[in-house]
Amino acid sequence: MTRLVSAALVLVGAAAAAAQPPAGPFDRFLPYVPPDANVLVLVDVKAAYDSPIGKTEKWADEYKSRYQSGVGFVAPYSTAVVIGSQVNLTTMTRDHQVGIVGVPTQLPIKTLAERDGGTATEIAGRPFALSPRDVYTTSLSVPATVALYPADRQAAARWSRHAAGAQKGANLSPYLTAAAAAAPGKAVTVAVDLTESQDPTLLRLGLAVSPAVVNAKLSPDEVAGLARFLATAKGLTFTATAGDAITGSVRIDFAAVAVSYPSVMKPLFVELLDQFGVAIPGVSSWDVKVEQRSVTFTGPLTPADLSRVLSLFAFPGTASEDDTLKAGELSPGATQRYFAATNTILGDLRRQKNSKDYNKMATWHDKAAEQLYHLNRTGVDPLALKVADDAGRRLKALSLSLRGVPIDTKALDASSYYTYSTNGWGWWRSTSYNTNIPQVQGQIARVVANDEKTRLSTWAQIDQMMADVGRQLGDKYKLQF
C-alpha cells in the first residue's frame, strides 16, 4: 500500500511539473529588475538571430563585429538582455538603469575589471567592477553580467540588496508585468509605465496649442474631455517582431474608454509619439487602430530603425577578451578597434544627417555622442581618444542646433560643451504653461533652418578630423585606420 501511495505521489508530481509552462527567455532575469523601474526593455537575442531576416542580414555576425569594436551592449554570446530603468517622466531624465545580459558562464569580477581597465570594489556585500566608462558591473549565477549605469554607488547598493532577495520572484508594476508576459515571440519589447504620470489640467492647457487639436477645431469642452482621457494613460508598449521583415507596433493603453474624435486621434497620437521621444521613422504612415482602451500603431521597421530605438537604452558593454592590458599600456589593436567603432557610430549617423525631422535627429545626435563616451578607452592611443572626444562635442552641438540653439563655433574647440535638458515630453508634459508656444515654436524653427550651413560645416570638420587622425595613426602603427 505504501508503495502504491509513493508511486501515486511521484506520478502526481511529474504531472504537475509537466503542466508548468516552459520558462520564457527572460524569466530568470526579471527578478533582478528593481521594483521602482518604470521602463522595461526585453531583447530576445537568440530569437532575433534565428529569425529569417536575422539570418538573411547576418545579424549574429554583424553584432559580434560591432561589439568587438566597442559598439553596443549585446554581447555575441548573449541569448537575452533585460533592462530596467527609472525615468523621471516629468523631466524625461534617466535616474539610473540596470542592464542584465544573459551569458553562458558567470564571469569573475576581477576579469571584468581587468578587461576594462577598472578597479574591483564591494558594495552592500556584493563585488563590483568600477569601469572608467561610468558603469558598475557585476555578475549573477543565473548566469548574467549586470551593468548599473551611470555608476551611482548608492543606487548600486540598493540594487545589491534587492538582488540578494531576488529568488522570491519578479516585483514589477502591474503594467510592466503584463508587458513581460506578452513578450515571448517578440524580438524586442519596450514598455513604459505611465500610471498616474499625467496631470489633466496641464494636458488641457497643452492640448489647446497642439497643432492636431487646433486643426481639428475642437470645442473647449471636447478638449477638456480629451485631456481627461489622456490623463488615464496606463502605459506605452513598443514591440518589434522579426520574420521575413520587421514589424513594429506601438500601443498606448488607457484606464478610461477612448474618447472618439476621428479627425484628431491619429495626428494627435503621431504628435504624442514624437514628443514621447519614440523616434520611429515613418510612424505617421503606420496603420492606426483605436479600441475602447488603447490606440495601436503598426507598420514596417528597417533594421537600422530598430537599432536606433535600442540605442535609446544603450549602456557600456563589458570589454572583449582581447582588451585586457596592463595599466598605461598602449595597444595598436585596441586603438584600431576604438577608431573603427568611432567611425561606425559616426557613419550610422551620417547616413541620416540630411533628414528634415529635426526633433528625431537631435535625439540621434545625442545618443551617438553617448555611444562615443561608452567606448572602451583602455590601451587606446591619445590621438584616437581626442578625435572621438572632439567629435562627441560637435555631435552635442549639432543636437542643440537641431533644437533651436545656434552652434557656438568658438566653444567647439573648448574642453567641454553645453548640454541639453528637455522640460517634459513636449507641450503635454511641461510643468509650466506658456500661451505663446506657437510663436516660440516658430522662432525655433527659423533658428534651426538658419543654422543649417553651420551644421553642414560642423559635419565637414568631423569628417576632416577623422581622416587626418586616421592617416596619422596609420603612419604610426603601419595599420589600416
* Model confidence pLDDT, tens digit, residues 75-114: 878 999 999 999 988 777 788 899 999 999 888 999 888 8
- Is the CA virtual torsion 299, 300, 303, 305 positive or negative? negative
Q: What is the rounded CA–CA span in Å between residue 312 and residue 303?
A: 15
pLDDT value of residue 419 = 41
pLDDT value of residue 2 = 46
pLDDT value of residue 298 = 95
Domain ranges within the chain, ordered by starting residue: 20-198+234-319, 325-419+451-477
pLDDT value of residue 154 = 96
What average pLDDT does the chain have? 83
Mean pLDDT of 451-465: 92
Is a pLDDT exceeding 80 seen at residue 278? Answer: no
Fold of 325-419+451-477: Four Helix Bundle (Hemerythrin (Met), subunit A) (1.20.120)
Model confidence pTM above 0.85? no
Is a pLDDT exceeding 50 seen at residue 428? Answer: no
Measured from the Cβ of residue 290, the count of other Cβ atoms closer than 10 Å reads 15
Q: Diameter of the chain by CA atoms?
A: 92
Measured from the Cβ of residue 354, the count of other Cβ atoms closer than 10 Å reads 11
Is residue 62 within 8 A of residue 118, CB to CB? The reply is no
From 143, 142, 103, 146, select the one nearest 126 (Cα to Cα). Answer: 146
Ramachandran region, residue 81 (left: φ > 0; alpha: ψ -120 to 50; beta: rest): beta
Owner of C-alpha cell 496631470: 199
Mean pLDDT of 293-321: 86
DSSP string, 186-248: -SEEEEEE-TT---HHHHHHHHTT-HHHHHHT--HHHHHHHHHHHTTEEEEEEEEEESSSEEE
Owner of C-alpha cell 595613426: 473
**Lowest mean pLDDT, pick from 75-89, 336-350, 353-367, 455-469:** 353-367
> 425 or 41: whose pLDDT is higher?
41
Percent of the chain with pLDDT over 70: 83
> 225 or 23: whose pLDDT is higher?
225
Percent of the chain with pLDDT over 90: 49
* Model confidence pLDDT, tens digit, residues 367-420: 899 999 989 888 899 999 999 999 999 999 999 888 877 776 566 665 444 443
- Is the CA virtual torsion 13, 15, 19, 24 positive or negative? positive
Q: What three-state secondary structure class fits 113? A: helix
Owner of C-alpha cell 492606426: 288
From 165, 143, 146, select the one nearest 31 (Cα to Cα). Answer: 165
pLDDT value of residue 320 = 64
From 153, 9, 150, select the one nearest 85 (Cα to Cα). Answer: 150
SS3 content of the chain, % helix, strand, coil (to 5): 50, 15, 35
* Model confidence pLDDT, tens digit, residues 135-182: 999 999 999 999 999 999 999 999 999 999 887 788 999 999 999 999
Enter the C-alpha cell of residue 311. 540605442
